[in-house]
Structure 1
Amino acid sequence: MYHYVISGLRVESDHAMPGLIETDSVAGAPDVRLRRGEVPTELAGSTISGPTWQMADGQFLLHIPGIVRMVLDGGTTITWECEGETRPEDAAIFVTGSGFGLLMHQHGRSILHASAIDVGGRAVLFCGPSGAGKSTLAAALAAKGFGHVADDQCVLSALSGGSTLVHPDGRSHKLWEQAIDKLNLLDRSGPAVRSELRKFYVQPGRASSAPLPLAAIYVLAEARVPDLAKGERVAITPLNLADAALMVRANAYRPAMVERLGQGGLYLETAAAAMRAGGVFRLTRPMAFGDMEGVLAALEAHWQDSGVMERVA
């Protein structure tokens, strides 16, 4: 058996899951089990469905056509089955990504599509859709000495009072070949995320294993034309609560599930918690590697000005 800790949950798997950071076995039953096995094409008693998914009482069936089917049962088990000639290593990213993210929605947890780093003992999150540069930005900051917290999923807890906590997602960085080269991370590069992609798992240098208090959330945006205020290359703009609530909900791991499961209030609560912690900001920047140092410098200056670097939980 293989053992992992994902978003604060102890996970046991009967198959090695590339990209997850393996941990020692711990006493007691795991919170979640990942199992390879037979998965139906339809759920009996399905009450709600979409093009590639079905929901029944306590169960969720997800179909990635031609790659994998998986069924989430009771929030405690994910059983998955490869389709066609798909290698298990190529299906694993969907099980631990989409599958586990949906399991968190099933648990009623607040989960954002975000990477995160450790700044002064607190977690700074970078939200955005796939391709927004979340992993690359987090890896670039990790290369400068900031600790790795999450690559793709951030689960938040203790939203209603005290310090809101961000749970490490237990994943390695996922970086394109160009990013690995530019950040000089070839020595930590591992297997491909999928066999047909030039995107690879990269072991983080220093990773958090315990939850950290939330410091701030940055929503990533690309500067497509040089029209930022005063000719700046990077802009960091604070959002008010109304805009922050919209952005946080839009960056839930699966926004459609938030709607389907009636969890909108949870993400309003998340936005309010983020505003209390330090704020929600829009980070507009060029995505070219030639501009990366300027982006990192702007972030560090913002953390110094806002006191994030001095506040240690």
Structure 2
Amino acid sequence: MPNNPSSAVASERTADSGQKWPYHYSIYGLHLCSEIPLPELRAAQPAPGEIFVYRANLKPLARGLKRVGNRLRVTPSEALLIYDQVGLLRIEEGRRITFDVPEDLPAETLRVLILGIGLGILMHQRGHLVLHASAVAMGERVVAFIAEKGYGKSTMAAALHARGYQLVTDDVLVLDEQSDGPPLVLPSYPQLKLWPDALAQAMHTMPDGLPRVHPAIDKRVTRVPQSVDRPLPLAALFALRPGETIQIRPLSGQEAFLELLLHTYTRVLLEQTRTLARHLQQVGYLTRYVPVMALERPPGLELLPDVVAAIEAFMQQERA
């Protein structure tokens, strides 16, 4: 018998051709096989899997481990996480996400963890630079937004989407480094999470009838009809900041480097996963090829159309 309580299941299932899994999806250019429905993702035809999501008995792994935040154990190939009133989540080798949660846990709550922190860590394990950012495609180029929580990353993506631009990702930006040139942004899934006021102002949509991200949180989830389904080059990064007027200005190399470190999705795991050196190299590469701009604007949503116009004008200049 294997020591790892889920390894027997994992080895059996990852060797499978993919035909026996009930649900198949495409995410970040990879084929995901799941034993539970993940309706946020793009459905795919059955095929050999590259990512596997399923229930496993993780409690034996957690016994005796010291908790630091939501982390029980993190190594270069594994992350074991615990969440109060939710359960355990394990991400392994850039291939598997297993969960051990109560049967009566709302499916939406579990999916938020799998599709957010679960896939974010998994793509980090696969060697990608993962940023806490939202992004849209303006033609064949991607613009992304980084900011502190609550500063409007999703709102900016929603406002640009309402102008006709395709959504690339909301919250988790996964980059694929190229040998010569800017990184490619890997396609995520067609969904935005917005507070009711931002939903109404940015997308002219009322929140009534839209599901909440969690029963106790008023933020809503909305699927969008237009989203990117292929890798596209990253053309610009905007760091959202408060200001008295709408202004776009370049950050110095050092400012840009620190801003990207701050908004790394897996920042707290870099030392434990022994990937800090790799990550610093990836951030340096990104700042060489992609302009990082400060986007300052007054608080509130009233000037959102003007902010969108400023971004469009900047990108037109960049193209010239």
Query: Could you tell me the TM-score, scaled by structure 2's length?
Result: 0.84
Task: Select 1:10's aligned residue among 31, 39, 55.
Answer: 31
Closer/same/farther in 2, CA of residues 111 and 297 from structure 1, 3 Å limit: same
Q: Which amino acid aligns with 2:44?
A: D
| RMSD (Å), alpha carbons | 2.5
Among residues 118, 121, 124, which one is paired with 2:143 in the alignment? 124
Q: CA shift at 1:92, angstroms?
A: 1.5
Contact 1:113-1:252 within 8 A present in 2 as well:
yes
Alpha-carbon distance in 2 for matches of 1:244, 1:266? 17
Structure 1 residue 287, shift from structure 2 partner = 3.7
Give the drift of 1:44: 7.8
Q: Is residue 69 of structure 2 the alignment partner of residue 51 of structure 1?
A: yes
Unaligned 5+ runs, structure 1 = 227-232
Aligned pair 1:69/2:81, yes or no?
A: no
Instruction: Provide runs of 4+ in structure 1 moved above 6 Å.
Output: none
Secondary structure of the structure 2 residue equivalent to 1:288: coil
Partner of 1:221: 241
Counterpart CA distance in 2 for 1:25 and 1:186 is 34
Gaps of 5+ in 2: 1-21
1:151 positional shift: 0.7
Q: 1:108 to 1:267 in 2, by over 3 A?
A: same
Shift of 1:213: 0.8
CA–CA distance in structure 1, aligned partners of residues 100 and 257 of structure 2: 37
- What does residue 36 of structure 1 align with? 55
Shift of 1:84: 8.3
Within 2, Cα distance between the matches of 1:146 and 1:57?
A: 37
Partner of 2:268: 256
SS in 1 for 2:271: helix
Q: In structure 2, how many angstroms separate the alpha carbons of the residues matched to 1:145 and 1:210? A: 18
Are 2:109 and 1:90 equivalent residues in the alignment?
Answer: yes
**Which residue number corresponds to residue 151 of structure 1?**
170
Aligned to 2:311: 299
Decide whether the 8 Å contact of 1:82 with 1:88 is kept in 2: no
**How far 1:56 moved relative to its partner?**
5.1
Shift in CA distance, 49/104, structure 1 to aligned 2, threshold 3 Å: farther
Tell me how far apart the structure 2 counterparts of residues 264 and 234 of structure 1 sit (CA, whole Å): 35
Following the alignment from structure 2 to structure 1, what is the Cα–Cα distance between the partners of residues 258 and 76?
A: 30
Q: 1:151 to 1:296 in 2, by over 3 A?
A: same
One-letter amino acid matched to 2:51: V
Matches of 1:188 and 1:119 in 2, distance apart? Answer: 30
Match of 2:43, SS state, is: coil
Secondary structure of 1:259's aligned partner: coil
1:173-192 mapped onto 2 (5 Å cutoff): 173-182=192-201, 183-186=203-206, 190-192=210-212
Aligned equivalents of 1:140, 1:188: Cα separation in 2: 19
2:4 aligned residue: none
Residue identity in the other structure for 2:43: T
TM-score of the two chains, using structure 1 as the length reference: 0.85
